[in-house]
Structure 1
Amino acid sequence: MQYAIPTLLDYFKREGYVAHLDDDGDIVFKREGMNYALCFDRDDPEFAKLILPNVWHVDTPQERAIVLHAMNEINRGYKTIKIHTVGDQVWLAIEMWLVNQADWAVHMPRAVRALSHALYRFAEQMRTSVDEAREAPRPNH
Protein backbone atom coordinates (compact mmCIF):
# COMPACT_ATOMS: atom_id res chain seq x y z
CA MET A 1 0.00 0.00 0.00
CA GLN A 2 2.69 2.51 1.01
CA TYR A 3 4.57 2.08 -2.27
CA ALA A 4 1.38 3.03 -4.16
CA ILE A 5 0.95 6.39 -2.43
CA PRO A 6 3.65 8.28 -4.39
CA THR A 7 2.25 6.83 -7.64
CA LEU A 8 -1.25 7.94 -6.72
CA LEU A 9 -0.13 11.39 -5.63
CA ASP A 10 1.63 11.74 -9.00
CA TYR A 11 -1.58 10.63 -10.73
CA PHE A 12 -3.61 13.30 -8.94
CA LYS A 13 -1.03 15.95 -9.79
CA ARG A 14 -1.05 14.98 -13.49
CA GLU A 15 -4.85 15.13 -13.50
CA GLY A 16 -4.83 18.61 -11.98
CA TYR A 17 -6.03 17.73 -8.49
CA VAL A 18 -4.44 19.18 -5.40
CA ALA A 19 -4.02 16.09 -3.24
CA HIS A 20 -2.20 15.46 0.01
CA LEU A 21 -1.80 12.85 2.71
CA ASP A 22 -3.75 13.44 5.90
CA ASP A 23 -2.68 12.37 9.39
CA ASP A 24 -4.15 8.88 8.88
CA GLY A 25 -2.19 8.27 5.67
CA ASP A 26 -5.23 8.74 3.43
CA ILE A 27 -5.07 10.73 0.21
CA VAL A 28 -7.41 13.72 0.39
CA PHE A 29 -8.41 15.76 -2.66
CA LYS A 30 -11.10 18.11 -3.88
CA ARG A 31 -13.11 17.84 -7.10
CA GLU A 32 -15.84 20.25 -8.16
CA GLY A 33 -16.08 21.63 -4.64
CA MET A 34 -16.48 18.22 -3.01
CA ASN A 35 -13.93 16.71 -0.60
CA TYR A 36 -12.89 13.12 -1.32
CA ALA A 37 -10.56 10.79 0.55
CA LEU A 38 -8.92 7.59 -0.64
CA CYS A 39 -8.61 5.55 2.56
CA PHE A 40 -6.34 2.57 3.02
CA ASP A 41 -6.57 -0.26 5.55
CA ARG A 42 -3.30 -1.17 7.26
CA ASP A 43 -4.74 -4.55 8.31
CA ASP A 44 -5.93 -5.43 4.78
CA PRO A 45 -3.43 -4.02 2.26
CA GLU A 46 -5.56 -5.05 -0.75
CA PHE A 47 -8.56 -3.06 0.49
CA ALA A 48 -9.22 0.65 0.05
CA LYS A 49 -12.23 2.90 -0.26
CA LEU A 50 -12.88 6.20 -1.93
CA ILE A 51 -15.19 8.24 0.29
CA LEU A 52 -17.27 11.33 -0.28
CA PRO A 53 -18.11 12.34 3.30
CA ASN A 54 -20.59 14.75 4.81
CA VAL A 55 -22.80 15.23 1.75
CA TRP A 56 -26.08 15.63 3.65
CA HIS A 57 -26.91 16.56 7.22
CA VAL A 58 -29.83 14.73 8.85
CA ASP A 59 -31.69 17.23 11.02
CA THR A 60 -34.65 15.32 12.46
CA PRO A 61 -35.83 11.77 13.13
CA GLN A 62 -38.47 12.29 10.43
CA GLU A 63 -35.81 13.29 7.93
CA ARG A 64 -33.71 10.24 8.94
CA ALA A 65 -36.56 7.97 7.81
CA ILE A 66 -36.60 9.69 4.42
CA VAL A 67 -32.79 9.55 4.22
CA LEU A 68 -32.77 5.81 4.98
CA HIS A 69 -35.31 5.17 2.23
CA ALA A 70 -33.30 7.23 -0.28
CA MET A 71 -30.04 5.52 0.75
CA ASN A 72 -31.65 2.11 0.31
CA GLU A 73 -32.68 3.03 -3.24
CA ILE A 74 -29.11 4.09 -4.08
CA ASN A 75 -27.49 1.03 -2.46
CA ARG A 76 -29.88 -1.26 -4.30
CA GLY A 77 -29.49 0.42 -7.67
CA TYR A 78 -25.77 1.15 -8.01
CA LYS A 79 -22.84 -1.20 -8.39
CA THR A 80 -20.05 -0.75 -5.82
CA ILE A 81 -21.68 2.28 -4.16
CA LYS A 82 -22.27 2.29 -0.43
CA ILE A 83 -24.22 5.16 1.06
CA HIS A 84 -24.60 5.29 4.83
CA THR A 85 -24.83 7.58 7.80
CA VAL A 86 -22.01 8.51 10.14
CA GLY A 87 -23.74 10.20 13.04
CA ASP A 88 -26.03 12.81 11.49
CA GLN A 89 -24.10 12.97 8.20
CA VAL A 90 -24.56 11.00 4.99
CA TRP A 91 -21.43 9.57 3.37
CA LEU A 92 -20.89 7.79 0.06
CA ALA A 93 -18.12 5.29 -0.65
CA ILE A 94 -16.77 2.91 -3.24
CA GLU A 95 -14.86 0.00 -1.76
CA MET A 96 -12.49 -2.23 -3.72
CA TRP A 97 -9.93 -4.94 -3.29
CA LEU A 98 -6.92 -4.36 -5.50
CA VAL A 99 -3.71 -6.35 -5.38
CA ASN A 100 -1.89 -3.16 -6.35
CA GLN A 101 -3.40 -0.04 -4.79
CA ALA A 102 -1.73 2.05 -7.52
CA ASP A 103 -4.44 0.62 -9.81
CA TRP A 104 -6.82 3.14 -8.27
CA ALA A 105 -5.38 5.50 -10.89
CA VAL A 106 -7.05 3.37 -13.56
CA HIS A 107 -10.38 3.23 -11.73
CA MET A 108 -10.44 6.75 -10.27
CA PRO A 109 -12.27 8.56 -13.10
CA ARG A 110 -15.11 6.02 -13.10
CA ALA A 111 -15.22 5.87 -9.30
CA VAL A 112 -15.49 9.66 -8.96
CA ARG A 113 -18.19 9.79 -11.66
CA ALA A 114 -20.11 7.00 -9.93
CA LEU A 115 -19.99 8.77 -6.57
CA SER A 116 -21.05 12.07 -8.16
CA HIS A 117 -23.93 10.42 -9.98
CA ALA A 118 -25.06 8.53 -6.87
CA LEU A 119 -25.00 11.78 -4.89
CA TYR A 120 -27.10 13.49 -7.57
CA ARG A 121 -29.62 10.63 -7.51
CA PHE A 122 -29.70 10.66 -3.70
CA ALA A 123 -30.42 14.41 -3.65
CA GLU A 124 -33.07 13.92 -6.33
CA GLN A 125 -34.67 11.12 -4.27
CA MET A 126 -34.62 13.37 -1.19
CA ARG A 127 -36.32 16.21 -3.08
CA THR A 128 -38.98 13.85 -4.40
CA SER A 129 -39.59 12.34 -0.96
CA VAL A 130 -39.83 15.77 0.69
CA ASP A 131 -42.22 17.00 -2.01
CA GLU A 132 -44.39 13.89 -1.58
CA ALA A 133 -44.43 14.38 2.20
CA ARG A 134 -45.53 18.00 1.77
CA GLU A 135 -48.33 17.00 -0.60
CA ALA A 136 -49.61 14.12 1.53
CA PRO A 137 -52.95 14.74 3.21
CA ARG A 138 -52.58 15.57 6.87
CA PRO A 139 -54.96 14.20 9.48
CA ASN A 140 -57.23 16.71 11.19
CA HIS A 141 -56.63 17.07 14.91
Structure 2
Amino acid sequence: MKRLLLLFAMAALTLPRAAAQDSLNAEQQALRSELYDFLKGEGYLPEIDGDGDIAFKAEGAKHWITVSDVDSSPFFVTVMRGAPYVENYDYDRVLHAADELNLYKTAKVEAYDGFAVIKSSMYLRDAEDFTDVFPKLLEVMDDLYDDFLYEYENATLCGE
Protein backbone atom coordinates (compact mmCIF):
# COMPACT_ATOMS: atom_id res chain seq x y z
CA MET A 1 0.00 0.00 0.00
CA LYS A 2 2.83 2.41 0.89
CA ARG A 3 4.51 1.65 -2.40
CA LEU A 4 1.29 2.44 -4.29
CA LEU A 5 0.86 5.75 -2.42
CA LEU A 6 4.47 6.66 -3.14
CA LEU A 7 3.95 5.88 -6.82
CA PHE A 8 0.85 8.12 -6.97
CA ALA A 9 2.68 10.93 -5.16
CA MET A 10 5.61 10.75 -7.57
CA ALA A 11 3.25 10.75 -10.56
CA ALA A 12 1.38 13.77 -9.20
CA LEU A 13 4.63 15.69 -8.79
CA THR A 14 6.05 14.87 -12.21
CA LEU A 15 2.87 15.00 -14.29
CA PRO A 16 2.63 18.82 -14.50
CA ARG A 17 6.26 19.06 -15.58
CA ALA A 18 5.83 16.35 -18.19
CA ALA A 19 2.65 17.95 -19.52
CA ALA A 20 4.30 21.37 -19.77
CA GLN A 21 7.36 19.95 -21.46
CA ASP A 22 5.24 18.01 -23.94
CA SER A 23 3.71 21.25 -25.24
CA LEU A 24 7.08 22.28 -26.74
CA ASN A 25 8.24 20.73 -29.98
CA ALA A 26 11.75 19.30 -30.31
CA GLU A 27 13.28 22.58 -31.56
CA GLN A 28 11.68 24.58 -28.75
CA GLN A 29 12.86 22.05 -26.16
CA ALA A 30 16.37 22.22 -27.61
CA LEU A 31 16.38 26.03 -27.30
CA ARG A 32 15.13 25.81 -23.71
CA SER A 33 17.89 23.29 -22.95
CA GLU A 34 20.52 25.60 -24.45
CA LEU A 35 19.24 28.52 -22.36
CA TYR A 36 19.23 26.31 -19.27
CA ASP A 37 22.81 25.19 -19.95
CA PHE A 38 23.89 28.79 -20.51
CA LEU A 39 22.47 29.86 -17.14
CA LYS A 40 24.12 26.89 -15.44
CA GLY A 41 27.44 27.75 -17.06
CA GLU A 42 27.12 31.35 -15.83
CA GLY A 43 26.79 30.11 -12.24
CA TYR A 44 23.03 30.42 -11.81
CA LEU A 45 21.10 27.47 -10.42
CA PRO A 46 18.31 27.07 -12.99
CA GLU A 47 15.41 24.66 -12.58
CA ILE A 48 12.57 23.67 -14.85
CA ASP A 49 9.41 24.56 -12.91
CA GLY A 50 5.99 22.92 -13.08
CA ASP A 51 4.98 25.10 -16.03
CA GLY A 52 8.04 24.07 -18.03
CA ASP A 53 9.68 27.47 -17.57
CA ILE A 54 13.29 27.97 -16.55
CA ALA A 55 13.36 29.45 -13.03
CA PHE A 56 16.47 30.98 -11.46
CA LYS A 57 17.57 33.67 -9.02
CA ALA A 58 19.76 36.64 -9.89
CA GLU A 59 20.77 39.22 -7.29
CA GLY A 60 18.22 37.70 -4.91
CA ALA A 61 15.27 38.20 -7.29
CA LYS A 62 13.34 35.31 -8.82
CA HIS A 63 13.39 35.19 -12.64
CA TRP A 64 11.74 32.97 -15.24
CA ILE A 65 12.43 32.32 -18.90
CA THR A 66 9.63 30.98 -21.06
CA VAL A 67 9.88 29.61 -24.57
CA SER A 68 6.56 29.93 -26.40
CA ASP A 69 5.07 26.72 -27.73
CA VAL A 70 3.54 28.68 -30.62
CA ASP A 71 6.52 30.13 -32.48
CA SER A 72 9.54 28.41 -34.01
CA SER A 73 12.40 29.86 -36.02
CA PRO A 74 12.36 32.53 -34.80
CA PHE A 75 11.43 31.47 -31.29
CA PHE A 76 9.48 33.76 -28.94
CA VAL A 77 11.18 33.99 -25.55
CA THR A 78 10.06 35.98 -22.51
CA VAL A 79 12.16 36.80 -19.47
CA MET A 80 10.26 37.71 -16.31
CA ARG A 81 11.30 39.03 -12.93
CA GLY A 82 9.26 39.25 -9.75
CA ALA A 83 8.64 42.82 -8.60
CA PRO A 84 7.37 42.85 -5.01
CA TYR A 85 5.38 45.84 -3.82
CA VAL A 86 6.12 47.97 -0.80
CA GLU A 87 4.35 46.96 2.39
CA ASN A 88 0.76 48.24 2.66
CA TYR A 89 0.79 49.33 -0.99
CA ASP A 90 -1.89 51.44 -2.68
CA TYR A 91 -3.00 49.60 -5.83
CA ASP A 92 -3.94 52.82 -7.66
CA ARG A 93 -0.40 54.12 -7.14
CA VAL A 94 0.98 50.78 -8.37
CA LEU A 95 -1.07 51.04 -11.57
CA HIS A 96 -0.02 54.65 -12.08
CA ALA A 97 3.67 53.77 -11.67
CA ALA A 98 3.37 50.86 -14.10
CA ASP A 99 1.52 52.98 -16.67
CA GLU A 100 4.11 55.76 -16.49
CA LEU A 101 7.04 53.39 -17.02
CA ASN A 102 5.38 51.32 -19.73
CA LEU A 103 5.16 54.42 -21.91
CA TYR A 104 8.90 54.51 -22.57
CA LYS A 105 10.74 51.49 -21.13
CA THR A 106 11.84 48.52 -23.22
CA ALA A 107 10.86 46.06 -20.50
CA LYS A 108 7.29 46.27 -19.20
CA VAL A 109 5.65 46.14 -15.77
CA GLU A 110 2.53 44.00 -15.47
CA ALA A 111 0.79 45.06 -12.25
CA TYR A 112 -1.70 42.88 -10.45
CA ASP A 113 -3.40 43.30 -7.09
CA GLY A 114 -0.76 41.77 -4.84
CA PHE A 115 2.25 41.42 -7.11
CA ALA A 116 3.92 42.68 -10.26
CA VAL A 117 6.04 41.10 -12.94
CA ILE A 118 8.64 42.80 -15.11
CA LYS A 119 8.75 41.27 -18.59
CA SER A 120 10.85 41.52 -21.69
CA SER A 121 10.09 39.47 -24.79
CA MET A 122 12.09 38.85 -27.93
CA TYR A 123 12.30 36.72 -31.03
CA LEU A 124 15.42 34.55 -31.35
CA ARG A 125 16.80 32.33 -34.06
CA ASP A 126 19.14 30.57 -31.61
CA ALA A 127 20.31 30.69 -27.99
CA GLU A 128 23.44 32.68 -28.87
CA ASP A 129 21.24 35.68 -29.69
CA PHE A 130 19.97 35.52 -26.10
CA THR A 131 23.32 34.96 -24.40
CA ASP A 132 24.75 38.08 -26.04
CA VAL A 133 22.11 40.36 -24.49
CA PHE A 134 21.38 38.52 -21.24
CA PRO A 135 23.62 40.56 -18.89
CA LYS A 136 22.22 43.84 -20.23
CA LEU A 137 18.68 42.49 -20.01
CA LEU A 138 19.09 41.67 -16.31
CA GLU A 139 20.49 45.15 -15.73
CA VAL A 140 17.57 46.79 -17.55
CA MET A 141 15.03 44.75 -15.58
CA ASP A 142 16.68 45.57 -12.24
CA ASP A 143 16.79 49.27 -13.17
CA LEU A 144 13.12 49.13 -14.14
CA TYR A 145 12.25 47.68 -10.74
CA ASP A 146 14.11 50.55 -9.05
CA ASP A 147 12.28 53.01 -11.32
CA PHE A 148 8.98 51.30 -10.49
CA LEU A 149 9.54 51.82 -6.76
CA TYR A 150 10.54 55.44 -7.38
CA GLU A 151 7.46 56.13 -9.54
CA TYR A 152 5.27 54.49 -6.91
CA GLU A 153 6.66 56.67 -4.11
CA ASN A 154 6.33 59.83 -6.21
CA ALA A 155 3.01 59.13 -7.93
CA THR A 156 0.53 61.98 -7.99
CA LEU A 157 -3.00 60.73 -8.43
CA CYS A 158 -6.01 62.80 -9.48
CA GLY A 159 -7.53 64.49 -6.47
CA GLU A 160 -4.31 64.58 -4.43
TM-score range, shorter chain: 0.7 to 0.9
Deviation beyond 4 Å, 4+ runs, structure 1: 57-60
The structure with the largest alpha-carbon Rg is: 2
CA RMSD across the alignment: 2.2
1:66 and 2:93 are equivalent in the alignment: yes
Structure-1 separation of matches of 2:85 and 2:66: 20
Residue 17 of structure 1 and its aligned partner are, at CA, apart by 0.6
Q: Quick check: which one's strand share is greater?
A: 1
Select which of 72, 93, 112 maps to 2:119: 93
Gaps of 5+ in 1: 137-141
Structure-1 separation of matches of 2:34 and 2:135: 16
Gaps of 5+ in 2: 1-27
Q: Percent identity of the aligned residues?
A: 23
- TM-score, normalised via structure 1 length: 0.80
1:47 and 2:76 are equivalent in the alignment: yes
Change (3 A) 1:11 1:105: same
What secondary structure, in the 3-state scheme, does the structure 2 residue paired with 1:29 have? strand
Where does residue 139 of structure 2 map in the other structure? 113
Deviation per residue, 1:25-79 (Å, 9 max, x gap) = 211100111000001211223211100135227956xx22111111112111212
The answer as to whether partners of 1:12 and 1:19 remain within 8 angstroms in 2 is: yes
**Counterpart AA for 1:18:** L
Residue 113 of structure 1 and its aligned partner are, at CA, apart by 0.8
The answer as to whether partners of 1:83 and 1:91 remain within 8 angstroms in 2 is: yes
Structure-1 separation of matches of 2:127 and 2:45: 19
Where does residue 139 of structure 1 map in the other structure? none
Where does residue 42 of structure 2 map in the other structure? 15
